[in-house]
């Protein structure tokens, strides 16, 4: 949610800030703004409601603002409607301090009331402006900006990543973080701060991840990081192992389509280093065999699509591990008195590694004594750093708000971890173990086969795009997969959609099926195929139009019942959802395209949800 960027160096800041914001626009896109400082013009601020191109036009691609020091922000509104005034940067009353903020200041009302009593006038409805005003207040008191920032941080509660400039410090940019991501980048012609590596990757791959409570002072030639007592801290440098092309569309009309097409490669990168001589090898985790044997309960915690990965994994892991696996929505977990002790393995799944609910649930699990294992895509993200163990999905940067390649890599990584644990526990037969490993190894080629039939799905999308309510039904793993298909469709096409366990439909929801209702029936789980077909017959009898997704082997059987059929290659049941989900992603994509939706930036959403 919200993206912040800052630059101080030897080049004009405004174009660099706009470019950085454009690359982070997926984090929020209801308004944007930049503040730049120069010797001649002082502090110049431009803000605009709407997408970044509005700000680009307003500033003539940055040419309207001069100076080599600046900060920028792209917003996903929490406090105050999206408009020019509530857009960041926020300026203190005397116009000398500018600030951008990602996060939420929980005690802003109390501080605001206090400042109003001191005679401060506020321009916006935001919690962030309160921090700019409070900074001015403390700066006035102590006359030292770093000290003022320290005082402010001790006063505020909540989550934040800040970028701050002050007219009195013409060569310095100040950064601070708590519970919101912030990286610092070392460039040749200057230094950067940003919410996300994508904003700076064009200029540098040499980055430092800020930790909670830290404050940084950046100049053109130096970056100094301090702890919350303002004592200098030595930070480890990281080299980002992907380049700018990974964060560009590369000829595709949308990031989402590019990322769907990248799935074979992303899965290959995630799986192949972890299979050696037919065995799953997880070098990077410190789970000992003794600990694994003592595991009595497993929680999988996540949100949205990552939660849907958990739903698939529950079926797979219970089959492989013979241990109870509970999947929890992160936003519910910590308020549900979870049964966690030292024999509980808590797996948290998060593409961004910054989702606040997931992070909070993970902290609660740790507090209760559980051992945490994070499945994360963004290297160095908060969840990755705080978890006891972390395994990365090597999907590369995911820009489209609707996840696809991260989901797919999470699925296969969960299969690998499941196999690994089952092997230690001795709960999986060696023939089954080998069959799954083999299927994971050949999955990229099978995914390529699915993607080669993109026109079929395009055709079905053009046939069905004008439906206003669509059901996804399936049993067992197909039911879990349907949840993802339904979410994908609703988030980018705005069509109302529900996922249902086929067998449950007749217990109420079947009343919604009427003549012409589209039902996407998932029948890839061979053990329950006949039962799934019976459920297709039931909805057909009530007038539904049925689009079925099955495997090549069962295409003929499905064609006898459904109106249209998409078939994917056969795999081991544990791996099959990795193939079945791809037509659902493509269907959602092409339906949204037909409906003229803003696919990469769907309304009301943002990638990386860092508010509760
Ligand atoms: C849907 C989607 C979201 C995320 C959810 C969790 O396409 O992307 O539902 O899956 O917000 O995000 P992460 O995985 O970053 O924790």
139 pLDDT above the threshold of 90: yes
Active site residue 303: no
User: What's residue 546's pLDDT?
Assistant: 97
User: What's residue 78's pLDDT?
Assistant: 82
Beta-bridge mates of residue 557: none
Ligand 1 mean position to 106 CA, how many Å? 24
395 pLDDT above the threshold of 90: yes
445 pLDDT above the threshold of 80: yes
In the chain, count H helices and then E strands.
Answer: 19, 27
**Residues 418, 419, 424, 429: is their CA dihedral positive or negative?**
positive
Quick one: average pLDDT of 58-76?
Answer: 96
Closest-CA residue, ligand 1 atom 10, reads: 305
Burial of 235 (0-12, 13-18, 19+ CB in 10 A): middle
pLDDT tens profile 313-362: 999 999 999 999 999 999 999 899 999 999 999 999 999 999 999 999 99
386-389 LR contacts (CB < 8 Å, sep 24+): 386/359, 386/362, 387/348, 387/362, 388/286, 389/284, 389/285, 389/286, 389/287
Mean pLDDT score of the chain: 95
The 3-class secondary structure across 84-117, one letter per residue, is CCCCCCEECCCCCEEEEEEEEECCHHHHHHHHHH
Quick one: average pLDDT of 49-60?
Answer: 95
pLDDT tens profile 228-254: 999 999 999 999 988 888 888 989 999
Quick one: average pLDDT of 31-56?
Answer: 94
Higher pLDDT, 512 or 26: 512
Higher pLDDT, 284 or 214: 214
Ligand 1 mean position to 406 CA, how many Å? 9
User: What's residue 34's pLDDT?
Assistant: 98
Ligand 1 pocket test, candidate residues 76, 301, 305, 599, most atoms within 8 A of CB: 305
Query: Which helix or strand (DSSP H or E) is residue 18 part of?
Result: helix 13-23
Ligand 1 mean position to 509 CA, how many Å? 27
**CA 399 – CA 206 distance, rounded (Å):** 21
Label residue 265 by pLDDT band (50, 70, 90). very high
610 pLDDT above the threshold of 80: no
User: What's residue 565's pLDDT?
Assistant: 97
Quick one: average pLDDT of 420-429?
Answer: 97
Are 37 and 49 spatial neighbours (Cβ–Cβ below 8 Å)?
no
User: What's residue 29's pLDDT?
Assistant: 84
Strand ranges in 492-606 using DSSP code E only, listed in sequence order: 496-501, 518-523, 545-551, 564-568
Q: What pTM was computed for the model?
A: 0.90
User: What's residue 163's pLDDT?
Assistant: 98
**Residues 558, 561, 562, 563: is their CA dihedral positive or negative?**
positive
608 pLDDT above the threshold of 90: no
What are 336's two structure tokens?
């549900």
416 pLDDT above the threshold of 80: yes
What are 32's two structure tokens?
């944007």
User: What's residue 26's pLDDT?
Assistant: 83
Label residue 373 by pLDDT band (50, 70, 90). very high
User: What's residue 347's pLDDT?
Assistant: 98
Q: Tokens 């081991």 label which residue?
A: 572
User: What's residue 10's pLDDT?
Assistant: 96
Higher pLDDT, 295 or 76: 295
Please give the order of strands across the beta sheet that includes 344-350.
325-329, 297-302, 344-350, 371-376, 389-392
586 pLDDT above the threshold of 80: yes
471 pLDDT above the threshold of 80: yes
**CA 331 – CA 93 distance, rounded (Å):** 38
**CA 197 – CA 255 distance, rounded (Å):** 17
**Residues 333, 334, 336, 342: is their CA dihedral positive or negative?**
positive
Residue 394, CB-side half-sphere exposure with 13 Å CA sphere: 14
User: What's residue 246's pLDDT?
Assistant: 86
225 pLDDT above the threshold of 90: yes
Going by C-alpha positions, the residue among 434, 136, 60 that lies closest to residue 280 is 434
Ligand 1 mean position to 355 CA, how many Å? 8
Atom of ligand 1 nearest to the CA of 383: 16
Going by C-alpha positions, the residue among 377, 385, 315, 391 that lies closest to residue 347 is 391
Atom of ligand 1 nearest to the CA of 401: 8
Share of the chain above pLDDT 90, in %: 91
Atom of ligand 1 nearest to the CA of 404: 7
111 pLDDT above the threshold of 80: yes
Quick one: average pLDDT of 372-396?
Answer: 96
**CA 477 – CA 479 distance, rounded (Å):** 5
**CA 39 – CA 467 distance, rounded (Å):** 58
Strand-pair category, 190-194 with 183-186: antiparallel
Going by C-alpha positions, the residue among 214, 165, 192, 168 that lies closest to residue 8 is 192
214 pLDDT above the threshold of 80: yes
* Annotated catalytic residue within 49, 405, 601, 607: 607
Ligand 1 mean position to 167 CA, how many Å? 39
User: What's residue 13's pLDDT?
Assistant: 98
Active site residue 607: yes
Ligand 1 pocket (Cβ < 6 Å) reads: 303-306, 350-352, 355, 358, 402-403, 487, 491, 608-609
Going by C-alpha positions, the residue among 91, 161, 101, 87 that lies closest to residue 133 is 91
3-state secondary structure of 322: coil
Closest-CA residue, ligand 1 atom 16, reads: 350
Are 187 and 202 spatial neighbours (Cβ–Cβ below 8 Å)?
no
Quick one: average pLDDT of 581-594?
Answer: 97
User: What's residue 182's pLDDT?
Assistant: 96
217 pLDDT above the threshold of 90: yes
Higher pLDDT, 606 or 475: 475
Quick one: average pLDDT of 401-411?
Answer: 97
């Amino acid at each position: 949610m919200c993206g912040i960027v800052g630059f101080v160096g030897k080049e004009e800041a405004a174009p660099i800030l706009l470019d950085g914001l454009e690359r982070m626009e997926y984090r929020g896109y209801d308004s944007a703004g930049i503040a730049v400082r120069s010797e001649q013009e002082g502090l110049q601020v431009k803000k605009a409601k709407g997408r970044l191109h509005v700000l680009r036009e307003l500033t003539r691609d940055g040419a309207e603002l001069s100076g080599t020091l600046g900060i920028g922000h792209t917003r996903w509104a929490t406090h105050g409607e999206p408009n020019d005034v509530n857009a960041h940067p926020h300026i203190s009353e005397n116009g000398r301090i500018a600030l951008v903020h990602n996060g939420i200041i929980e005690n802003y009302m109390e501080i605001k009331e206090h400042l109003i009593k001191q005679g401060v006038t506020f321009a916006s409805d935001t919690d962030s402006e309160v921090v700019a005003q409070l900074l001015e207040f403390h700066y006035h008191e102590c006359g030292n900006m770093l000290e003022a920032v320290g005082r402010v941080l001790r006063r505020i509660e909540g989550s934040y990543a800040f970028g701050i400039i002050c007219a009195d410090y013409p060569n310095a940019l100040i950064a601070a973080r708590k519970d919101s991501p912030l990286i610092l980048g070392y460039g040749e012609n200057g230094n950067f701060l940003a919410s996300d590596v994508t904003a700076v990757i064009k200029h540098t791959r040499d980055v430092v991840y800020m930790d909670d409570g830290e404050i940084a002072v950046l100049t053109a030639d130096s970056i100094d990081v301090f702890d919350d007592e303002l004592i200098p801290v030595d930070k480890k440098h990281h080299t980002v192992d992907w380049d700018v092309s990974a964060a560009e569309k590369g000829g595709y009309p949308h990031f989402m389509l590019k990322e769907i097409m990248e799935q074979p490669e992303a899965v290959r990168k995630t799986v192949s280093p972890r299979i050696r001589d037919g065995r799953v090898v997880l070098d990077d985790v410190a789970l000992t065999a003794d600990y694994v044997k003592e595991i009595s309960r497993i929680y999988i915690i996540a949100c949205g699509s990552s939660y849907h990965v958990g739903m698939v994994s529950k079926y797979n892991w219970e089959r492989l591990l013979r241990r109870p696996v509970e999947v929890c929505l992160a936003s519910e977990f910590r308020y549900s008195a979870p049964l966690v002790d030292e024999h509980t393995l808590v797996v948290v799944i998060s593409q961004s590694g910054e989702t606040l609910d997931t992070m909070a649930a993970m902290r609660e699990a740790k507090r209760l004594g559980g051992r945490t294992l994070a499945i994360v895509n963004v290297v160095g993200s908060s969840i990755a750093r705080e978890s006891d163990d972390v395994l990365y999905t090597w999907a590369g940067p995911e820009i489209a708000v609707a996840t696809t390649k991260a989901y797919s890599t999470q699925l296969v990584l969960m299969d690998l971890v499941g196999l690994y644990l089952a092997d230690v526990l001795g709960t999986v037969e060696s023939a089954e173990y080998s069959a799954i490993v083999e299927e994971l190894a050949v999955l990229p080629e099978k995914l390529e086969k699915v993607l080669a039939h993109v026109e079929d799905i395009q055709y079905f999308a053009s046939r069905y795009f004008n439906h206003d309510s669509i059901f996804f039904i399936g049993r067992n793993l197909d039911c879990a997969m349907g949840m993802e298909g339904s979410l994908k469709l609703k988030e980018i096409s705005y069509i109302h959609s529900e996922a249902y366990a086929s067998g449950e439909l007749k217990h109420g929801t079947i009343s919604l099926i009427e003549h012409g209702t589209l039902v996407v029936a998932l029948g890839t789980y061979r053990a329950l195929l006949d039962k799934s077909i019976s459920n297709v017959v039931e909805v057909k009898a009530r007038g539904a139009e049925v689009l079925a997704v099955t495997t090549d082997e069962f295409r003929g059987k499905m064609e006898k019942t459904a109106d249209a059929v998409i078939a994917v290659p056969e795999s081991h049941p544990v791996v099959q959802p990795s193939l079945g989900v791809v037509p659902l992603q493509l269907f959602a994509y092409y339906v949204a395209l037909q409906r003229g939706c803003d696919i990469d930036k769907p309304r009301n959403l943002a990638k990386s949800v860092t508010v509760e």
